[in-house]
């Protein structure tokens, strides 16, 4: 079982390396690598979660920067204006966001943190839910998970002390988890940063992410009336 799961990581490493070697255009290469990561996430997350690239929006007309990977609610919340790779996803529906990069370094960590902040600053509505026995109160909003995905880390100590020192310090830019296939995986889901070595890193990352998503439960009920007001501006 362990060998079968680890082979998934080997295959992803091969796919990323192949696209790096065979595609010269940076934009196309980035899109292909994003799709490899998206395919893996789709394969291991339950169908209640959708995984796409796109923009996150709110009921005030705010919009995030384009996100490489958005994990969002599929059951209760539709995407808006979905045209090829331009999807607009209500902020209330978002569970997690990721940046896919050629490696993990200081500049990419900062960039991923800034893009995470562009999502977390958006307004998220929440309304009560009526049911047969009465009404459930509006659900409070959870912390949107953010992370970084890459084939490797750029430092000689991998995901060691140098990596830890360069993680964004601002709460709105916090990087919660990630995977650098050649150097391991990390998360702070238990309140402290934990880093695991290369072997089995991808599956560890996926299972830890799945556990975190489960702990968040369902997304809050979106206030569609608030979105309707944008149309009448």
Confirm if 38 and 180 have CB atoms less than 8 A apart. no
Radius of gyration of the chain (CA): 18
Angle (nearest 5°) at CA 60 between 59 and 61:
90
The residue assigned the tokens 């000689």 is 156
| Candidate list 34, 73, 101, 152, residue with the active-site label | 101
| Candidate list 34, 73, 92, 99, residue with the active-site label | 99
Distance CA 120, CA 171 (A): 10
Query: Is 68 known to be catalytic?
Result: yes
First to last CA, the chain: 56
Distance CA 47, CA 226 (A): 28
The residue assigned the tokens 């990561």 is 37
Nearest Cα to Cα of residue 100 among 152, 63, 57, 144: 152
Distance CA 52, CA 110 (A): 22
Query: Is 229 known to be catalytic?
Result: no
Distance CA 209, CA 40 (A): 13
How many angstroms separate the Cα of 227 from the Cα of each of 35, 55, 63, 133, 144?
30, 16, 13, 28, 21
Query: Is 176 known to be catalytic?
Result: no
| Candidate list 34, 50, 58, 68, residue with the active-site label | 68
Residue 35: CB partners within 8 Å, gap ≥ 6? none
Give me 170's structure tokens.
């601002």
Q: What is the set of active-site residues?
A: 68, 99, 101
């Amino acid at each position: 079982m362990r060998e079968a799961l680890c082979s998934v990581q080997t295959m992803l490493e091969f796919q990323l390396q192949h696209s790096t070697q065979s595609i010269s255009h940076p934009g196309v290469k980035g899109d292909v690598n994003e799709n490899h990561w998206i395919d893996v996430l789709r394969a291991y997350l339950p169908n209640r979660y959708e995984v796409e690239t796109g923009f996150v929006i709110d009921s005030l007309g705010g919009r995030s920067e384009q996100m490489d990977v958005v994990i969002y609610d599929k059951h209760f919340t539709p995407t808006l204006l979905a045209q090829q790779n331009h999807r607009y996803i209500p902020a209330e529906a978002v569970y997690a966001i990721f940046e896919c990069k050629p490696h993990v370094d200081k500049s990419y960590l900062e960039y991923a943190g800034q893009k995470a902040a562009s999502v977390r600053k958006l307004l998220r509505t929440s309304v009560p839910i009526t049911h047969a026995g009465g009404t459930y109160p509006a659900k409070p909003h959870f912390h949107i998970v953010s992370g970084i995905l890459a084939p490797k880390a750029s430092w000689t100590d991998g995901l060691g002390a140098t990596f830890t020192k360069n993680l964004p310090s601002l709460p709105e830019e916090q990087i919660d988890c990630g995977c650098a296939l050649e150097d391991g995986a990390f998360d702070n889901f238990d309140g402290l940063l934990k880093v695991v070595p290369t072997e089995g890193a991808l599956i560890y990352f996926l299972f830890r992410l799945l556990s975190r998503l489960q702990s968040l439960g369902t997304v809050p009920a979106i206030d569609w009336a608030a979105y309707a007001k944008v149309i009448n501006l």
